[in-house]
Each structure stands twice: as C-alpha cells, then as structure tokens.
Chain A
Amino acid sequence: MTGLKRLGLAIMLHTAWLKRAGFAGILAIVATGCSDDSSSFSISDRTSSLIPEAQSGIADTPGVVNLLEDKFGNPQQLKAWTKLPVQWGGAAAAVEVFAADGDGAKVRFTVAEGQEFPAKATFVNVVTGAGAGRTLGLSSWDAATGEAVLTGLDGVVLAAGDTCSIDGGAVIQSGRVLYMRHCSHCHGTAGDGNGPTAQYLYPRPRDYRHGVFKFTSTNDMSKVSREDLLRVLRYGIPGTYMPSFLLMKDEELTSIVEYVRFLSMRGEFERKLVNELASDYSADAVESRLKDEQRADIVAELGKFLSEDLPGVVDGIGGELEESWVAADTEEARIIPSVPRVPDNEESRRRGRELYLSKTLNCADCHGIDGAGNGPQTMVYEKNPVTNVPYDEPGLHDVWDNLNQPRNLHTGIFRGGRRPIDLFCRIHAGIKGSRMPSFKNTPHEDIWHIVNYVLSIPFESEPGATGLAAGPAAAPAAEAAPAAGE
C-alpha cells in the first residue's frame, strides 16, 4: 500500500502533476501524506556485523533482532518486559462485578496487591477470560472505588475474576509520544543519538544505548538516577545543544525519563546480547573460521547456542539490567559528601590548586597547568579500545568514539551544573563514558578544595592566581557596556 502511495506520488511529481492532476492531485497528497508513517528501532552497527543467522535466528529459534522485537517491540507497539524497572504506568486489576448495560457495561475492579489504581484512566486491556487480548474503552473511571463504565465491548462479556490492566503502559506511551516530538530528531528513534538533526551538532547528542550518562549524582559504578535525568531535562546542558524543557509539566517530564530509561535498557540489552555472539559469529569471525571449518557446521553450532544457551543469557542480562537500574535510584548509590563544603577562601583555593597540580591527582595532565583544557594528554594518539585501531586525531575519546577533549575551565560553563555539589559529583564519580576518572578515594575535604579552586578559575586575574577576585571592582572589561539605541 505504501509502495503504491510512493509510486503514485513519484508519477505525479514527474509528469508536471500540477497541470494534469491539478487540485485533485494536491488533495491526494494532503490526504495520503508523502511518506510511510511507521517507524522502527534501528539495530546497532554491531548487531548488523553478525552473520544473518545470528541476527534473525535459524528457523524458529530467535536471533538478536527477534529477541529485541520480542522483549521491547517497536515504536508503534511497545512491549513491556515487566522484569525491567521501568514505570510502565497503569495497574493490574481483576473484575469484581460486571453488569452489561446496553452497548456498555458497568464494572467494578479490584486492584492487584501492592498496586494502586491510576488517578486517570481511559482504557482497559483484558488479559484473561473470554475477552483476552481485547482493549476496551473507559467512559468513566473512579480511582477511589474502582468503578468504571466500559465502552466498545462489541459482545464481549467479562466474568468476575478476569484479570485486566487498567491504562496499562500509559506512562511509557505518553513518554514515547513526547520523546518522538521533542527528542527524537536529535537522539534518534532508538535513542542511538543519530536523529536527522544530529549531524549538525557538536558535541553529538547522547547515544543512550550504552546505558551510560555523563552527569549523574550517583557513584562511579552506578547508573544514572531518575532524578539526574529529570534535572538534565529541566535545566538542559549549557555548552551543548541540549536545551531546557523547564516549561513542560512534571508528569510529561517523568514519562520522558521512563521512555529514555526504556530505550537505554533496550540498547544495553542489544549490546550485551551481541557481546555474547560477536567473537564467534560476527561476519568477520566466521570468515576467518571458514579456513578450517565448514559454514554449515558453524551455523549448526550457532543454532545450538541460540536454542540452548541464549535463553539463559537473556535472563541473565535481564537480571543485570534490573539490578543496576534499580540500584541507581537507591540512597546507597547517591554521592553525599561526608563533610560540608569548606569555606571558599584564598587558602582553600590555593590548596585546591596544589591538589590540582599534584602528582596523585594530576588534573593538569589533561586540563593543563592553567586549566585551559590543553594538558599533554590532549596530544596523545589513543587507540579505539574495541577495535584497537588508533584514532585519526590526537586527544581523548569517550566510549561513544567521539573526540572528547578535557574541559577548558576558564569558560564558566559547567555542563553538569554549577552548584558545588555538581562539581563535587563530577570529581568524585568522574564523568561517566568520558576519560574524566573517578577520584572517589580522595578525601572529601580535598575534593571541596578543588571545587573551590575550579569555581574560581573563570575569575582569575592570571593563570594560577588564586586570590579572591570577588567583587565587581576587580572585574576587568566591566566598564564597556555598548548599549544599542543610544
């Protein structure tokens, strides 16, 4: 059908359609649109480097792509792998009373143990019973009593005890709609950081599929917390193209956060699954194995692995994802300084500068002696840790393979936030995914000295001058106020 539409459009465009088809032709375009409106989660390059059998399975045995579809669905029809710690929205419930009433029916639901009815609900998915698989509308809903009026029954009769999900997946679906509207043009439909506008941006938009986010308030080994993601959405990331979405409603932002977590988990699942297969069944690996093996044997071996070992692997990955993402939101994961910020005075800044230059911390190795982001490490040719091939350009690279030079500390732009606690977290946990390492073993008092020093760098009268330059009197260039319209 889509093919026909496209063909029709192409013909119209190529034959001076305005003259021939005229108004009807324009109407046809308006009515049908110009392109296929379905979208898909693209698979990663690493997945497509596997041999076709590993990607799409052998006969009924699923491969990576089938497993992804099975566990996460596609953008039109998301699937909830309930093992994962995502707030899908909605509640599981059972029918208590069902009374047909004309086209609709009055029902009373009881909510599953440990859950709560959503305050607002518009639909019900029937899970068991005669109506299993059906989606019914709710024309009225009372979250306090669980009483509702069902519509769109079309002859379906529910019985007491049938299980349903009320507004199931409402949060993730609203997150998807908002994500597609506001985020996907940079971050991509699958969260691969490769949307249509991504190529114009420096730095590149985040690719979520590593499950790694740079600016977190959690320990170096922990994932990002919901609160961290919310903060980035609210306040943006100055110095990058990530804008602030402050004016969106809280519930909209939290549903986007859930959807971003969902995409991250999907990407991580894909990565980890491919990790299991890449060494033996990537197209390159198979080619080199063909020297002393038959392809049919390799495929048979893969089939055995896919059918016997992979289900266990999938469960294992699900468990890892569950554990790590749940842990990120716990109090244990959060960085809480053991001492309050030390007073910001000349002495503290001098101490901070000493630590900055010290052999043990060696900040200057990357950030440069005067903090301009030009330390010796920026001249080193690094190797790609996965392929072991040196990068084309010198300098430090992040896990996304982008050149990611150390920050020039003079700009006064703090991407992860300018609160002292933000800088404390950057030093304590490092910047995840980048080459900024964690200094969690440094005494917290020392970290505070460095924070005080770093916060003072933009106002230094000369590099390394740690004196208090506070007060407008000491500010150079403050007098020149070119005012337009005078």
Chain B
Amino acid sequence: MKLIRIKYTKWYNIMKDGLSKNNPIVIAVLGICSALAVTNRVDNAIAMGLGVTFVVMASSATVSLIRNFIPPKVRMVTYMVIISTFVILVQLFLQAYYPNIAKALGAYVGLIITNCIVMGRAEAFASKNPVRYTLVDGFASGMGYTFILIIVAVIREVLAFGTILNMRVMPSTWINWTVMAMAPGGFFVLGLLIWGIRELSKYYEEA
C-alpha cells in the first residue's frame, strides 16, 4: 500500500520530472559542454556525472538555506561563489584519490561552475523551496544528467576503442572509429540520442 501512495507525493513527482520530463540534457538542452567533452570514455563520464550531482545537491541546499538573506541584486554572484566552493572540493577530492581521472578531465572539472544545470537549479528551484525538496531535486537533475552522459559514453567508447570501462567487448578485428573519440562523434551521438528520446516521449519543439 505504501508503495502505491508514494507515487503521488511531491517527492516522487520532483524525482520523476528530473529524470524524464525535465531532463536537463535532452529536453532543456543544458550542460552540453561537459556532456560532450568528457564522454569519450565511460569512467570519465561517471566521475563527471557524480561530481555534478554532488555540486548540484550541495549548492542547491546551501542556496535554499540562505535564500531569505540574499539580496536579489547580488544573488547571481552569491550563487557563483557557493558553487565554486563546492567545485573546488570536488577538484581536490579527485586530485587526491583519483589522480588519473583528474588528469583526463583536466580543466573540465573546473568548468562544472559554468554548467548551466547547477546555476539553473539554484535560480529556478532552490531559491524558492525548502531544503528537503532541493536535495531531491538536485539529486534527480544530477542523475538525469549522469544517465545521459553514461549512455553517450558507452556508445562512443564502444565505437572508438572497442571497449567498455577498458574491458574489450568488440572482436579483435574491430577497426576503431577514431572520429567517435573526437568532437564530431560526440555531436552526432548526442544529436541522434536527443532525436530518439524526443520521438519516444512525443516531445516536439516548434522551430
């Protein structure tokens, strides 16, 4: 009984929206830079996705905690400072425990700050809602982002290197599509993915 009731709560709706209807990448087309630049290998994509999820949750919660004390005129700068503090945390954590991934991601870890998803959730959701909902919302947006990142990364890594998480999945006669590891591959895969998902969910944009 409890399971059925949970379906209609606010928590469930926020969660569902973040993963499907409001998916930051496919529907809102936000946060594309990192989605394309780091998805040539699956492990980079996972690290990036989890980093963004952490930053979204932590910064949304902080913004929501102090939302009544921020003067509206300087709110953007305040959000920026809060977000960059958490990004520095992520950067130091990666450098300390996963130096290889930190090296592969390079400057893109720092660029989480300008990822529109983080700023967008702070501005659109966290500045108006209590802390407990912002945590769910941040988690849902972050996971919706991670989910797409992993799909793109799996397609690109299989085609470009014949591996998933560095394990060989294609036969040894497979000829690597080097272009998939470069920028054009990312653009094409994400473009086709957006097409597919929008056809499935019947979401059309009037051009």
A binds B: no
